[in-house]
């Protein structure tokens, strides 16, 4: 029917529902903060973080593009999200808040991923894109009739609440219709038992990369990229790229995000400044000099911790002035 209902339940119940999910009545569950709030999972959380950070290390230079989110106040730090997806479940079509670099590691099952490429992103360094019409990002936002969703509020000790970040979402779907020839999760399991994992994956990948078998409502000039994620695969999600997943079979994944000092920090800070400016007058906002904060001299002399402290001191001041 296309209707979405939202429920709260225990993790055990979510797993049970995921295994009962069907294409016409699917289950998609988010468990934010689970890895940070459960001591028994701290080791797993740290292991996943270590593996992820290795991808952003420059072994030739012996350096790592340090994640600046660790210097954010605890309440402002994005948390990992455990995602359970039953057969037929899709995420929303969206691009991420904070304009961070996202990651998703699949621990069990498989997922189909589809991305909408912003025009020009493969012809230049993605870090140089800015939120202006010339980048092509707005073109995709308009094509998808996007709307903004507040993702993180900030305010304490007498401050007015400020919105630090807003994501983008669309009511279009990259998986609007599934052909009757697409096997069910049970049929895929039977194929794996009879013919082996590799043969099953050939079928899964052929389905995931065939737009005629799982069709999209997005048309126009949008360029779509597709791929299949299997257990053990880690997907890196660049800023500005709209994306959506589809589960051919039950899957378990952990979604994370980072703010690399070189790759993301200037963009993430600008996103925060843009978000808190909504509804604030110029005399309240004052000014945070992003160019000066991110200058090589400042970075070398003070480091990221000092810059992030200055940013949140500024945010605190804006909240108190409103």
pLDDT at 233: 93
Query: What does the CA dihedral 157, 161, 164, 170 come to, rounded to 10 degrees?
Result: 150
pLDDT at 128: 45
The confidence band for 126, taking pLDDT boundaries of 50, 70 and 90, is very low
pLDDT at 69: 93
* Spatial separation of the C-alpha atoms in residues 285 and 274, rounded to whole Å: 11
The two tokens of residue 5 are 């209902």
Query: What does the CA dihedral 269, 275, 276, 280 come to, rounded to 10 degrees?
Result: 140
pLDDT at 123: 54
| Structural domains of the chain ordered from first start | 11-259 (2.60.120)
- Say if residue 24's pLDDT is above 80: yes
The confidence band for 112, taking pLDDT boundaries of 50, 70 and 90, is very high
pLDDT at 160: 54
Task: Give the residue with greater pLDDT, 48 vs 169.
Answer: 169
Per-residue pLDDT tens digits for 61-74: 556 788 999 999 98
* Spatial separation of the C-alpha atoms in residues 204 and 34, rounded to whole Å: 30
Secondary structure (DSSP) of 233-299: -EEEE-TT-EEEEE-SS-EEEEEEEE-BTTTTHHHHHHHHHHHHHTT--HHHH----HHHHTSHHHH
pLDDT at 201: 95
Of the listed ranges 22-36, 98-112, 257-271, the least confidently predicted one is 22-36
Q: What percent of the chain has pLDDT over 70?
A: 86
pLDDT at 2: 62
HSE-up of residue 237 (Cα within 13 Å, Cβ side): 27
- Say if residue 57's pLDDT is above 70: yes
Per-residue pLDDT tens digits for 83-105: 999 999 999 999 999 999 999 99
Mean pLDDT taken over the chain: 85
Q: Do 226 and 157 form a contact (C-beta atoms < 8 A)?
A: no
Task: Give the residue with greater pLDDT, 5 vs 237.
Answer: 237
Whole-Å CA distances, 252 to 79, 81, 163: 17, 11, 30
Secondary structure (DSSP) of 144-196: TT-EEEEEEEE--TTPPPEEEEEEEEES--S-SEE-TTSPPHHHHHHHHHHH-
- Say if residue 131's pLDDT is above 50: no
> How many of the other CB atoms lie within 10 Å of CB of 7?
9
The two tokens of residue 294 are 């991110």
Chain-centre distance of CA 169, in angstroms? 12
Is the pTM above the cut of 0.85?
Answer: yes
Of the listed ranges 46-60, 120-134, 170-184, 201-215, the least confidently predicted one is 120-134
Of the listed ranges 153-157, 195-199, 201-205, 259-263, the least confidently predicted one is 153-157
């Amino acid at each position: 029917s296309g209707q979405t209902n939202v429920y709260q339940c225990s993790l055990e119940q979510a797993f049970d529902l995921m295994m009962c999910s069907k294409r016409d009545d699917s289950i998609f569950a988010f468990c934010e903060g689970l890895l940070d709030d459960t001591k028994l999972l701290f080791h797993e959380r740290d292991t996943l973080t270590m593996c992820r950070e290795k991808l952003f290390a420059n072994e030739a230079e012996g350096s790592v593009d340090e994640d600046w989110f660790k210097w954010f106040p605890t309440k402002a730090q994005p948390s990992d999200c455990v995602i359970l997806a039953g057969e037929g479940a899709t995420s929303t079509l969206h691009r991420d808040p904070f304009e961070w670099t996202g990651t998703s590691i699949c621990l069990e099952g498989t997922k189909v991923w589809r991305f909408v490429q912003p025009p020009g992103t493969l012809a230049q360094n993605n870090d140089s894109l800015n939120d202006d019409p010339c980048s092509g990002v707005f073109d995709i936002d308009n094509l998808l009739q996007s709307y903004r969703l507040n993702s993180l509020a900030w305010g304490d000790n007498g401050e007015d609440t400020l919105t630090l970040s807003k994501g983008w979402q669309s009511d279009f779907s990259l998986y609007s219709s599934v052909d009757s020839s697409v096997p069910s999760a049970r049929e895929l399991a039977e194929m794996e038992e009879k013919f082996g994992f590799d043969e099953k994956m050939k079928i899964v990948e052929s389905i995931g990369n065939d737009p005629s078998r799982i069709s999209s409502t997005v048309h126009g000039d949008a360029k779509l990229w597709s791929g299949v994620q299997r257990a053990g695969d880690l997907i890196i999600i660049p800023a500005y790229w709209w994306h959506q997943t589809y589960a051919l079979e039950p899957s378990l994944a952990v979604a994370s995000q980072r703010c690399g000092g070189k790759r993301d920090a200037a963009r993430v800070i600008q996103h925060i400044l843009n978000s808190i400016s909504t509804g604030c007058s110029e005399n309240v906002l004052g000014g945070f000099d992003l160019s000066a904060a991110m200058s090589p001299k400042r970075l070398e002399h003070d480091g990221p911790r000092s810059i992030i402290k200055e940013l949140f001191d500024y945010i605190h001041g804006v909240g108190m002035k409103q």
